[in-house]
């Protein structure tokens, strides 16, 4: 039996701001935009702001309506990322087997660590205390024997929670929760289950494996297992992460190539930085474009060799932009609301020798790949404004 912890920081970005500025403590702090230019969405907010109904992904304009006296801050990603790294060092001090799943959240395999503690409560408290002591922030911790139960547990007593779910407690603590709490049960699946009269996690068991599979296919089998507390996923080290990326919403929709290219360049610098800090290389670059009318497209370039340098990412992203951000009939490229860059097909640097000694992927490799796909000469390294071809 494995002991798995799930740690998730409370109101992460907002809590960091409150930590660093005592005047913000106890106040409704909303991160993601400014009150007087209410564009974009809420990235997160303090628990004081949640009382007004404000939550992540809500338009800032709506948050202003709900909480007009809120303190709106644009946020400081660089700082949050730094804290996230400090947090990871704390995880590493408890176990070498930890798996970050987002900027403020990770699974920890505590099977060995637990042997040094008299109880799981003591271990859970030690993790929380260390985070509070070293970072001045609160975390919510769930400890269980599977990833699924640990994640559900960490959410149950937020903020500053500690919940332990042993297999014998599973039915009591988790069984009566709504199906949507299960990993992999999204809004649509939850709605379909509800139509079948299934509201709680225990209800799923009553349906039986066969009916779950015939309704949801393989996914039904997965959900059925989770409902019984069965989840074979192990904690895996970070290099198994699927992608690293970042996106940005423009303050104003823009069709200005200079603005777009500059934004892409900054995103690539940031993604490269994160890849390098984590010792990762990626073999596919994805560009995300969202036009003013919210139409969102993604375009992926598969490389012949893994890359991690900013120049390579920029080059790849630019080629994709050139190919896919095209002029319409009136001769204008559509105004963009958002651009994003991500890198996937990740490889651990340890399997690649050292960063420094590895030759950077050259632009000709990228060109070769694109030209193979789209025909010779379709893509050249030119000015982005000369975007001619159409899909
Ligand atoms: P979460 O852990 O989902 O949220 P949280 O830490 O702010 O609050 P909670 O106490 O409920 O865990 O996300 C971590 C950070 O990621 C969050 O502080 C801000 C960022 N984030 C966004 O930028 N946009 C989003 O839509 C979400 C969900 C999070
Ligand atoms: Mg959190």
Q: Is 348 helix (H, G, I), strand (E, B) or coil?
A: strand
Separation CA 12–CA 79 (nearest Å): 11
Is 371 found in the same domain as 291? yes
Is 281 found in the same domain as 365? yes
Query: What pLDDT, on a 0 to 100 scale, did the predictor assign at position 30?
Result: 97
Span 151-176, mean pLDDT?
Answer: 97
Is 105 found in the same domain as 22? yes
In our burial notation (b when 16+ CB lie closer than 10 A, e otherwise), range 133-163 reads eebebbbbbbbbbbbbbbbbbbebebeebbb
The best mutation among 28, 48, 56, 74 to test binding of ligand 1, ranked by most ligand atoms within 8 Å of the C-beta, falls on 56
The per-type count for the chain, helices as H runs and strands as E runs, is 14, 12
pLDDT class for 76, splitting at 50, 70, 90? confident
Span 141-156, mean pLDDT?
Answer: 97
Query: What pLDDT, on a 0 to 100 scale, did the predictor assign at position 248?
Result: 93
- What is the chain's Cα-based Rg? 23
Range picked from 70-84, 94-108, 133-147 for highest mean pLDDT: 133-147
Q: Is 308 helix (H, G, I), strand (E, B) or coil?
A: coil
Identify which has the larger pLDDT, 385 or 131: 131
Q: How many domains does the chain have?
A: 3
Is 126 found in the same domain as 66? yes
Specify the DSSP class assigned to residue 337: E
Span 3-31, mean pLDDT?
Answer: 97
Instruction: Give the nearest ligand 1 atom to 47 CA.
Output: 10
Our answer on whether the CB atom of 23 is closer than 6 Å to any ligand 1 atom is no
Task: Look at residue 33 and tell me if it is in a domain.
Answer: yes
pLDDT class for 201, splitting at 50, 70, 90? very high
Instruction: Give the nearest ligand 1 atom to 104 CA.
Output: 14
Q: Is 152 helix (H, G, I), strand (E, B) or coil?
A: helix
Separation CA 69–CA 30 (nearest Å): 10
Query: Domain containing 182 — which CATH number?
Result: 1.10.150.20
pTM to 2 decimal places: 0.68
Residues forming beta bridges with residue 141, ordered by sequence position: 7, 162
Query: Domain containing 368 — which CATH number?
Result: 3.30.1490.100
Instruction: Give the nearest ligand 1 atom to 32 CA.
Output: 23
Range of the domain at 67: 1-166
Span 303-316, mean pLDDT?
Answer: 88
Nearest ligand for residue 102 CA? 1
Query: What pLDDT, on a 0 to 100 scale, did the predictor assign at position 358?
Result: 37
Poorest-confidence range of 17-21, 55-59, 169-173? 55-59
Task: Look at residue 235 and tell me if it is in a domain.
Answer: no
Query: What pLDDT, on a 0 to 100 scale, did the predictor assign at position 240?
Result: 57
CA of 83 to the centre of ligand 2 (A): 13
The best mutation among 41, 80, 104, 159 to test binding of ligand 1, ranked by most ligand atoms within 8 Å of the C-beta, falls on 104
CA of 216 to the centre of ligand 1 (A): 30
């Amino acid at each position: 039996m494995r002991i798995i912890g799930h740690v998730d920081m409370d109101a992460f970005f907002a809590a960091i701001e409150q930590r660093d500025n005592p005047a913000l403590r106890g106040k409704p702090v909303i991160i993601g935009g400014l009150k007087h230019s209410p564009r974009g969405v809420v990235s997160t907010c303090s628990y004081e702001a949640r009382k007004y109904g404000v939550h992540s992904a809500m338009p800032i304009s709506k948050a202003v309506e709900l909480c007009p006296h809120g303190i709106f801050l644009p946020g400081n990603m660089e700082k949050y990322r730094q804290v996230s790294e400090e947090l990871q060092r704390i995880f590493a001090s408890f176990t070498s087997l930890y798996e970050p799943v987002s900027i403020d959240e990770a699974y920890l395999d505590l099977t060995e660590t637990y042997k040094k503690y008299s109880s799981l409560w003591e271990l859970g408290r030690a993790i929380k205390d260390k985070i509070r002591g070293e970072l001045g922030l609160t975390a919510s911790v769930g400890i269980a024997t599977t990833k699924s139960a640990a994640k559900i547990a960490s959410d149950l007593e937020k903020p500053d929670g500690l919940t332990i779910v042993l297999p014998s407690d599973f039915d009591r603590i988790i069984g009566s929760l709504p199906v949507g709490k299960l990993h992999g049960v999204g809004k649509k699946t939850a709605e379909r289950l509800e139509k079948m009269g299934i509201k709680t996690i225990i209800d799923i068991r009553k349906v039986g494996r066969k009916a779950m599979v015939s309704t949801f296919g393989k996914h039904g089998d997965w959900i059925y297992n989770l409902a019984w507390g069965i989840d074979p996923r192990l904690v895996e080290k970070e290099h198994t992460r699927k992608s690293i990326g970042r996106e940005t919403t423009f303050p104003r929709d823009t069709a200005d190539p200079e603005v777009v290219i500059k934004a892409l360049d900054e995103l690539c610098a940031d993604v490269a930085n994160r890849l390098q800090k984590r010792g990762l290389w990626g073999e596919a670059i994805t560009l995300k474009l969202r036009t003013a009318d919210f139409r969102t497209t993604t375009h992926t370039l598969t490389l012949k060799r893994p890359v991690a340098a900013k120049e390579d990412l920029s080059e790849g992203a630019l080629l994709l932009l050139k190919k896919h951000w095209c002029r319409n009939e009136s001769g204008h490229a559509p105004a963009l609301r958002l651009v994003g860059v991500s890198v996937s097909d990740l490889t651990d640097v340890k399997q690649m020798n050292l960063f420094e000694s590895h030759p950077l992927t050259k632009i000709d490799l990228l060109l070769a790949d694109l030209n193979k796909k789209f025909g010779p000469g379709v893509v050249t390294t030119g000015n982005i404004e000369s975007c001619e071809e159409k899909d």
